[in-house]
Structure 1
Amino acid sequence: MPYKIPESVLVVIYTPDLQVLLIERADRPGFWQSVTGSLDAEDEPLPVTAAREVAEETGIIASAHSLTDWQHTIKYDIYPQWRHRYAPGVARNTEHWFGLCVPAPLPVTLAPREHLRYAWLPWQEAAERCFSSSNAEAVRQLAWRAAAGLDVTSGAA
């Protein structure tokens, strides 16, 4: 199995009334998160990665909804329990944030090897449930975007 590329996307899937989809990791029960995933190739466009990961992890087809690049990037230390997936010496990842607005909570088809359960939660509860502080911050940024008057339902600023 080739090493993961240390560049990824995080996709906050939400409804116009700011319900947020979280999924529970199969390899770490109790760890809830938004959709995340690494690039498959160094030259894979980030929106393609985001749409692919959404489809793989939830069965939702991003092109049928409003996928928005939030133009927000963070760098973080890869959790030690997952560093073996990366080339030796790789300890940091670059993550790009996206939002995907769907009209209402949708049924989700989980990848059983990756996730156990899903939940649609009000944004505040979703932010509290995220195991990753950066994921929680992404959910809070969704609420900030809505409060700031950014059009979170269509992705336009």
Structure 2
Amino acid sequence: MPYKIPESVLVVIHTANLEVLLIERAGNPGFWQSVTGSLDTPDEPLSATASRELHEETGIVADGESIVLRDWHLSNVYEIYPVWRHRYAPRVTHNTEHVFSVQVPRDIPVTLAPREHVAHVWLPWMEAADRCFSPSNAEAILQLPRQLKKLAG
């Protein structure tokens, strides 16, 4: 299997009332997160990665009309947890994560990728931030109200 590319997306899924969808990792019980995923190829557009990962992990399709991916034009660089470094080329220790969000209806069907995630939950945004295991994911959720105002203006 080829090494993962150390560039990824984070997609915060939320409702108009700022409820946030979190999904629990299959191999790590108690690890709750938003949708994440790495580029498949170095030249894959970030929006394509975000759209693909959103669909693969939740079954939600960003159609560009009723469900629109929003690029926050925000990137985080973080150290890759040692337990997952074997997935990357030797000496790769950091990942660059690009943040997106998508607003969906609360009753949208969620279909998890069973090899990746085992449960999902809708939580108020502050509670969702508290439940995330990833500091950058928690921070993105905490920024959600401000980012939505910025994107709307």
TM-score category of the 2 structures, normalised to the smaller one: over 0.9
Equivalents in 1 of 2:138, 2:122: separation in Å?
A: 15
1:5-154 alignment, distance < 5 Å: 5-63=5-63, 64-146=66-148, 149-150=149-150
3-state SS of paired residue (1:29)? coil
Superposed CA RMSD in Å reads: 1.1
Unaligned runs of 5+ in 1: none
Residue 105 of structure 1 deviates from its aligned partner by: 4.0
**How many matched pairs?**
151
Asked if the contact 1:78–1:91 (Cα under 8 Å) also holds between the matched residues in 2, the reply is: yes
Structure 1 residue 55: Cα displacement = 0.3
Q: Percent identity?
A: 65
TM-score if structure 2 supplies the norm length?
Answer: 0.95
Query: Structure 1: how far apart are the matches of 2:105 and 2:113?
Result: 22
Normalising by the residue count of structure 1, what TM-score does the alignment of the two structures yield?
0.92
What do the CA deviations read for 1:75-117 (whole angstroms, capped 9, x no partner)? Answer: 0000001000000110000000001111324221011100010
Inter-CA distance 128–33: structure 2 relative to 1 (3 Å threshold): same
Q: Which ranges in structure 2 are unaligned for 5 or more consecutive residues?
A: none
Aligned-partner SS, 1:74: strand
Kept in 1: contact 2:50–2:100 (CA 8 A): yes
